Structure 1
Amino acid sequence: MVNRLANATSPYLLQHAQNPVDWWEWGPEAFAEAKRRNVPVLLSVGYAACHWCHVMAHESFEDDATAALMNDFYVNIKVDREERPDVDAVYMAATQAMTGHGGWPMTVVLDHDGRPFFAGTYFPDQPRHGQPAFRQVLTSLFDAWVKRPDDIEAAAGQIAAHLSTEAALATRQITDEDLDTAVRILASEFDPMAGGFGGAPKFPPSMVVEFLRRYVGRPGPRVDEALLRQARHMLARTLQAMAGSGMYDQLGGGFARYAVDLGWVVPHFEKMLYDNAQLLAVYARTDSDTGRRIAAETADFLLRELLTAEGGFASALDADSLNASGESEEGAFYAWTPAELVEALGHSRGEWAAELFGVTAEGTFEHGTSTLQLRHFPSDTHEQARLAEVRARLLDARAQRTRPHRDDKVVAAWNGLAISGLCAAGTLLDRQEYVDAAAAAAELLLDVHMVDGRLLRVSRDGAVGRHAGVLEDYACVAMGYLDLLQATGDARWLAEAKLLLDDALARFRAEDGGFHDTAADAEALVSRPRELGDNASPCGQSMMVHALATYAALTGEGSYRTAAEETLAVLAPLSTRSPRFAGWSLAAAEALRDGPVEVAVVGRPGAERDALALAARRIPGAVVVVGAPGAPGATLIPLLEQRAEVDGRPAAYVCREMVCERPVTEPADLSR
């Protein structure tokens, strides 16, 4: 027996297609049915790699008695937050307003107009930890719906009014003093022992790390040398700690979603495309052996485990998989015991691996198992070869385990991030296969996700879904195209980015100069979502600043620069109040203070031009294009126009703060 979700494209919704719950997808039909029956709407939001979503599904949605209550008392809607971030954003704001916290699974009860009057997250099947059982919640809410309609109306009206009230946002430019203040606040929240920021659970601070990289690498003198040293320490310690942590897959590459502890020992094991795309770029831009190694391993992970047959990248790998007993268990695919290491490697190598990876008899995770942490990367070449052999053998042994489920929908925004990350790794590590993979993903977005001139958010198996792209899709894909232009010199991607940016400026712009998350002609919800802070990935507005500023630097078209500055002014107050949630805005501000730096490298292909291009790409926040003099298509990239070699040698032309300097032919001169 299957329900309506059997026809969905979302892997998350398909996971619930055989529930006894009479699920509906989000849409006017579900609300019309609720009105016809005069019952409330129960909205359940989650995503495919969410561990507690699976727990609640098993306990409640697969239970016949619970499903009977849901079907009798409610019209039930299931939403994939990754497919409908607009719906998720509206009701997450309601959940946070009503409960003081949020997360997934998210459970919200609505009236026939979509107004919430109750919200929560996970509810157990039996009362525990001070929480009522889900069936108790279902029964009491329906009782209130029937017996106290005036109370329901008042609560729904109050929350709807709160959501629809858009306070006037203060706007101002981010100054150098603001950037210094942000670093001081970050320093106060920095974990000096294990790196990273804040307490447990500890998330990878991808965007904050990129801001710090640009902050310590900006040209020109700095007054507060102590602050600069502090920023450099936070940057290096965090990158090194995450690279050796249990959050990083020491065998197969790639990062888990977050660590549940302060020391990065135990991760929440789901692997998300957006995390790995961003961390790939961060480590690639770090000019160190560790940075290059982690970037290459993470890029290889993307190509090996998330690449789809159509050339895009799947959304996630699940946290759970089947253990040796055939039961679903979080981390079963990744955790080890000392005995398992010995079985796979032999006694001597097994003990050596246990010591190197921190696998103990007591275990660092659950049931006596341990996550793998690389306590130190061997400096001796013989030991490095030994480590490579051990990793290969353990990968072979792990391949015999049941693999975690893959959520194989292709999300436009996250593929835009992947394109940018792969371009960074490909150009900085001299790995053409990464750039080729980025180009293939861009072709998929162009061929499948663009329909009648509009960007759609998701596809699966090469078939595009029906949901419109939101601001983060337009911004991340446009930025991906611009990074692909810089990696390949193919001017087509500049034109495609312009189409997306112009559409966003026409349909998403807010009166204060920033942007809304949904287009003016999108489906009307209880409120029009508008994210100001970064979360696990950049918010649409902060990414739009980067894309607009980059396009302006490449073309010299000042209106895009103005739009970038106006949007950044909307985001400015958060940047000094909560810099951990404004890393991408701060990174944009750091780049914009220098123009950003624009570099055109012109010359015949070869080692000399490659050396100049590499030096240019290592300049934090720089916009870089590379081309041959007089090459076809160069005239379509304004930053390359009228550029020629100098004395028969490849040359780099540098412009900063709207002023161009004399061309240089030596990488050392360019770096200076």
Structure 2
Amino acid sequence: MANRLAGATSPYLRQHADNPVDWWPWGDEAFAESRRRDVPVLLSVGYAACHWCHVMAHESFEDDGVAAAINAGFVPVKVDREERPDVDAVYMAATTAMTGQGGWPMTAFLTPDGEPFHCGTYFPREQLLAVLAAVGEAWRERRGAVLAQGEAVTQAIARGTGTLPTAPVDDAALAQAVAALRRDFSAQHGGFGGAPKFPPSMTLVHLLRHHARTGDASALELAERTCEAMARGGIYDQLAGGFARYSVDAAWVVPHFEKMLYDNAQLLRVYAHLWRATSSPLAARVARETAQFLLRDLRTPAGGFASALDADTDGVEGLTSVWTPAQLRDVLGDDDGRRAAEALVVTDAGTFTGGASTLQLPEDPDPAWWGPVRDRLFAARGRRPQPARDDKVVTAWNGLAVAALAEAGAVLDEPAWVDAAAVCADHLLAVHRVEGRWRRASRDGVAGDAPAVAADHGDLAEGLLALHQATGEARWLSAAGELLDLALDHFGSADGGFFDAADDAERLVVRPRDPTDGPEPSGTSALAGALAVYAALTGSSRHRTAAERAVAATGTLARRAPRFAGWTLATAEALAAGPLQVAVVGDGPAADDLRRTAWRTPSAGAVVVHGAPDSPGVPLLADRPLVGGRPAAYVCRGFVCDLPVTDPADLTQQLTVRA
């Protein structure tokens, strides 16, 4: 049996390389084999940090009997959803349409033409064997009905990817979205909706931007209370920093322990924005600890960022992270152990399975005591078995990390974060750009074959634009402009939105286009946000119009379901508030004071650039000289410019005027 997954760039595929299942990677060769053998394709989709993917692998894909049944009757194809989000989107739509729910692992049976005719998610071993037998019999005995089912499902998901009516997201729609979020808000626990509960990263940015633009105190309250509840709950890693993927309960107590790059990058940005709006010490602490987590635990040797840490260790979810009172006493001694148990809500009954507890921090303890205790517990946890790391470098998620580190580094005055963002961006430009086009992911400095999707272009452009603002270097602006023009040429739709796959990418049974902002921005909203920032930095009306059209393309969704259009609404707030352009010219301590003041503005539409007057390739610095030989700040709002100022207090006054 050929081992076709051994050389994959995806750690998830490599996890299955030695299975007795005769796996094929996604590609034309697998479907050609399906036609040659006249058997269906069994498509299995998951990702490396997925707990139930591991369970199904151990129960079924490592089992010789199950493997024999799969190999005899099917061409099995394994896909990493994080490496091929376009493939995942098509067949997840089919799974949801057929079963009413989705999730991973995803299991789909396809015709040799790729049309899905039976779908599901996790199947226990015996159930999977029964499904394999039933599907095989249907393929042999009722081929016509199977093919008709595949065609009908394909047509249904094609209709589901159709466009919604365009609708501009104006002031009234933005106010209505906040009102809808107030109705969905959990007054008891913060956040929106019930269990399971996911960090609403993009919605939090939307709320903070709405407050900055309008002064709506309720928008700030929703964001602030949610951020505090998450930061004090078990979903936040009280020892190592960083957030887990979601909470299985409504109170943020018990997380699903996988820690994803895209969540933590976005939440770093959220807490930096919250600190900027409120000067909250909690927000500053969480931002710093989350940045530390990214740099310590997810950074790769080449300077990119790995995708995730697993939910489980040695097959046990949460094994590394949960504690009992006795374990705390073993590390800290009786007195500090009891005190830590009280502070961290570690009880004899436990909040997790087996009498163990996740760590919460309802109140900040005395830092003189808590700092050394936290260090000792973190060191002790480091001696436990550790979760595996999915070390593929995904373009979109690294773009989010670049944006977060560059922007938070500028806001919180942490130049090392900005430097790390620049190293990551250089790595992406060197490895992920192949013959003028972009790849989705790499591993160990080698780009994979999967092409970049729309979100890769939008999120990376967003990161490069944040880096341009934090450093004043023209090359980041130039690279972002090239990315955005490439996206406009190859992903654009007639209504102003964007398809997820390029017009010259591999043809799937449906060209995917998902407008919803889920755990990360959709392709359309990611590009809309970056286009809006690029337009503000360059004055390009073409790019601003493209941003407005992309927001309008998702406007109906934003009006109907604002929780699932967070980044569209955040971008609409930026367009409504801006452009607010701030250029700081000069160097030295006086220029640094002006730059720090500029970065403290919470305006949704603000862009900030600093550097020498007339720096080549930096439009906002053109024709902006020093004033009396002193560093100066130039503020333009909505294409109307104020007089330059040299005093930070005067700059603060200019920036606090609301549009």
The alignment's TM-score, normalised by the length of structure 2, stands at: 0.96
Which residue is equivalent to 1:249?
A: 237
Q: CA deviation at 1:446?
A: 0.4
**Equivalent runs, 1:632-643 vs 2, <5 Å:** 634-643=615-624
**Secondary structure at 1:588 match in 2:** helix
Which residue is equivalent to 2:587?
A: 604
Gaps of 5+ in 2: none
Q: CA deviation at 1:614?
A: 3.4
Is contact 1:3–1:18 with CA below 8 Å preserved after alignment?
Answer: yes
Which residue is equivalent to 2:596?
A: 613
Q: Which amino acid aligns with 1:600?
A: A
Distance 2:148 2:362 in 1: 57
* Equivalent of residue 190 in structure 1, options 185, 188, 200: 185
Number of residue pairs the alignment of both structures matches: 648
Q: Which amino acid aligns with 2:148?
A: A
Which residue is equivalent to 1:225?
A: none
Q: Percent identity?
A: 55
Is contact 1:612–1:670 with CA below 8 Å preserved after alignment?
Answer: no
* Equivalent of residue 468 in structure 1, options 438, 451, 459: 451
Alignment partner of 1:291 is 2:291: no
Q: CA deviation at 1:440?
A: 0.5
Q: Which amino acid aligns with 1:296?
A: R
Q: Deviations for 1:192-231, whole angstroms, at most 9, x for unmatched residues?
A: 0110001100000000000000111116xx6xxxxx2322
Which residue is equivalent to 1:134?
A: 128
**Secondary structure at 2:6 match in 1:** helix
Is contact 1:458–1:465 with CA below 8 Å preserved after alignment?
Answer: yes
Is contact 1:25–1:79 with CA below 8 Å preserved after alignment?
Answer: yes
Q: CA deviation at 1:306?
A: 0.4
**Equivalent runs, 1:84-99 vs 2, <5 Å:** 84-99=84-99
**Equivalent runs, 1:538-553 vs 2, <5 Å:** 538-553=521-536
Q: Which amino acid aligns with 1:374?
A: L
Distance 2:257 2:59 in 1: 21
Q: Which amino acid aligns with 2:404?
A: G
Which residue is equivalent to 2:410?
A: 427
Which residue is equivalent to 1:654?
A: 635
Q: Which runs of 4+ in 1 moved over 4 A?
A: none
Q: Which amino acid aligns with 1:138?
A: L
Q: Deviations for 1:168-202, whole angstroms, at most 9, x for unmatched residues?
A: 43112111110111011111111101100011000
Distance 2:572 2:327 in 1: 49
Q: Deviations for 1:69-120, whole angstroms, at most 9, x for unmatched residues?
A: 0000100000000000000001011111111111100000000100000111
Q: CA deviation at 1:531?
A: 1.3
Alignment partner of 1:644 is 2:636: no
**Equivalent runs, 1:505-516 vs 2, <5 Å:** 505-516=488-499
Is contact 2:598–2:608 with CA below 8 Å preserved after alignment?
Answer: no
**Secondary structure at 1:218 match in 2:** helix
**Secondary structure at 2:428 match in 1:** helix
Which residue is equivalent to 1:531?
A: 514
Which residue is equivalent to 1:330?
A: 317
Q: Which amino acid aligns with 1:149?
A: R
Distance 1:303 1:464 in 2: 22
Distance 1:377 1:250 in 2: 11
Which residue is equivalent to 2:201?
A: 206
Which residue is equivalent to 1:367?
A: 354
More displaced stretch, 191-200 vs 610-619: 610-619
Which residue is equivalent to 1:149?
A: 143
Q: CA deviation at 1:62?
A: 0.8
* Equivalent of residue 346 in structure 1, options 310, 317, 333: 333
Q: CA deviation at 1:630?
A: 2.9
Q: Deviations for 1:112-170, whole angstroms, at most 9, x for unmatched residues?
A: 100000111011123xxxxxx11000100110000001110110110111223353431
Q: Which amino acid aligns with 1:331?
A: G
Gaps of 5+ in 1: 127-132, 223-227, 323-327
Which residue is equivalent to 1:309?
A: 301
Q: CA deviation at 1:513?
A: 1.4
Q: CA deviation at 1:544?
A: 0.5
Distance 1:410 1:25 in 2: 19
Is contact 1:591–1:597 with CA below 8 Å preserved after alignment?
Answer: no
Q: Which amino acid aligns with 2:464?
A: Y
Distance 1:623 1:454 in 2: 30
Which residue is equivalent to 2:560?
A: 577
Distance 1:167 1:214 in 2: 30
Q: RMSD in angstroms over aligned alpha carbons? A: 1.4
Distance 1:52 1:535 in 2: 20
Q: CA deviation at 1:618?
A: 3.0
Q: Which amino acid aligns with 1:141?
A: V
Distance 2:163 2:11 in 1: 39
Q: CA deviation at 1:651?
A: 2.7
Q: CA deviation at 1:662?
A: 2.7
Is contact 1:308–1:408 with CA below 8 Å preserved after alignment?
Answer: yes
Distance 2:313 2:17 in 1: 20
**Secondary structure at 1:284 match in 2:** helix
Q: Deviations for 1:300-347, whole angstroms, at most 9, x for unmatched residues?
A: 11110100011100000001003xxxxx20000000000000000111
Is contact 1:616–1:670 with CA below 8 Å preserved after alignment?
Answer: no
**Secondary structure at 2:354 match in 1:** coil
Distance 1:608 1:394 in 2: 42
Is contact 2:472–2:611 with CA below 8 Å preserved after alignment?
Answer: no
Distance 1:518 1:59 in 2: 34
Is contact 2:593–2:648 with CA below 8 Å preserved after alignment?
Answer: no
Distance 1:278 1:88 in 2: 22
**Secondary structure at 2:442 match in 1:** strand
Distance 1:614 1:120 in 2: 53
Alignment partner of 1:521 is 2:504: yes
Q: CA deviation at 1:419?
A: 0.2
Alignment partner of 1:13 is 2:8: no
More displaced stretch, 154-163 vs 30-39: 154-163
Distance 2:229 2:518 in 1: 21
Distance 2:272 2:218 in 1: 22
Alignment partner of 1:260 is 2:240: no
Which residue is equivalent to 1:129?
A: none
Which residue is equivalent to 2:171?
A: 176
**Secondary structure at 1:553 match in 2:** helix
Distance 1:630 1:652 in 2: 11
**Secondary structure at 2:348 match in 1:** coil
Which residue is equivalent to 2:398?
A: 415
Distance 1:89 1:608 in 2: 48
**Equivalent runs, 1:6-85 vs 2, <5 Å:** 6-85=6-85
Q: CA deviation at 1:428?
A: 1.3
The alignment's TM-score, normalised by the length of structure 1, stands at: 0.94
